[in-house]
Amino acid sequence: MLPRALLVATGLSLVSLPATAEPLVVEEAQVRAVPPGSQTSAAFMTLRNPGQRDVVLVAAETPVAKAAELHDHQDADGVMQMRQVAQIVVPAGGSTSLAPGGLHMMLIGLTAPLAEGEPVEIELRFDSGDTQRLEAPVRRIVVDDEGSHGQGHGH
Ligand SMILES: [Cu+2]
């Protein structure tokens, strides 16, 4: 009865959990291709949380930029403006999308040209202290709604 079940369960968890358990499933990660000389870009992705607890993203790092900030868009008197947010929550059993016009990861102070198709390494940091690495290919991202996003980054 129990002992055997426990053994099986333990064995399974040992096999399925690598040394660093990754709390999120990252889908469709991509970094926006920008013209040469650009100082900023942005990363977009869908973060899915299969776990039982909310996962709270508090920071990110990438070798291609001096800083990676968590940003959101906010309507300020009818003008969409970007602003930095302290955290992005991925609810237990749910998902959060980082997409043009909404939440995104701002890459500030690019240290290398972003070549289309090339993978960009990004490390996510959570409030738990855990980290998770992912690769996001550089893609040309076209936003239908031409307007305030894109250029108007107020730093
Ligand atoms: Cu931004």
Q: How far apart are CA 33 and CA 9, in angstroms?
A: 45
The model's pLDDT over 3-60, given as tens digits with 9 standing for 90+, comes to 555 545 554 444 544 545 789 999 999 999 999 889 999 999 999 999 999 999 999 9
- With b for 16 or more beta-carbon neighbours within 10 A and e for fewer, the 78-91 pattern comes to eeebbeeeeebebe
Residue 146 lies in a domain: no
Residue 88 lies in a domain: yes
Is the four-CA dihedral 55, 134, 35, 37 of positive or negative sign? positive
Q: Quote the ligand 1 centre to 71 CA distance (angstroms).
A: 5
Q: Quote the ligand 1 centre to 47 CA distance (angstroms).
A: 18
Question: For residues 57 and 47, is the Cβ–Cβ distance under 8 A?
Answer: yes
Q: Quote the ligand 1 centre to 152 CA distance (angstroms).
A: 9
Q: Quote the ligand 1 centre to 81 CA distance (angstroms).
A: 8
Q: Is the pLDDT of residue 145 over 60?
A: no
- Report helix, strand or coil for 29: strand
- Quick one: pLDDT band at residue 155, thresholds 50, 70, 90? very low
Q: Quote the ligand 1 centre to 132 CA distance (angstroms).
A: 21
Residue 116 lies in a domain: yes
Residue 14 lies in a domain: no
CATH of the domain at 85: 2.60.40.1890
pLDDT at site 148: 44
- Quick one: pLDDT band at residue 75, thresholds 50, 70, 90? confident
pLDDT at site 152: 45
Q: Quote the ligand 1 centre to 10 CA distance (angstroms).
A: 43
Residue 96 lies in a domain: yes
pLDDT at site 151: 45
Total-model pTM: 0.79
Residue 76 lies in a domain: yes
Question: For residues 31 and 134, is the Cβ–Cβ distance under 8 A?
Answer: no
**Residues spanned by the domain of 102:** 20-139
Q: Quote the ligand 1 centre to 153 CA distance (angstroms).
A: 6
Q: How far apart are CA 135 and CA 148, in angstroms?
A: 28
How many structural domains are present in the chain?
1
Residue 8 lies in a domain: no
Residue 7 lies in a domain: no
| Rounded alpha-carbon distances, angstroms, from residue 107 to 9, 39, 63, 65 | 42, 8, 10, 6
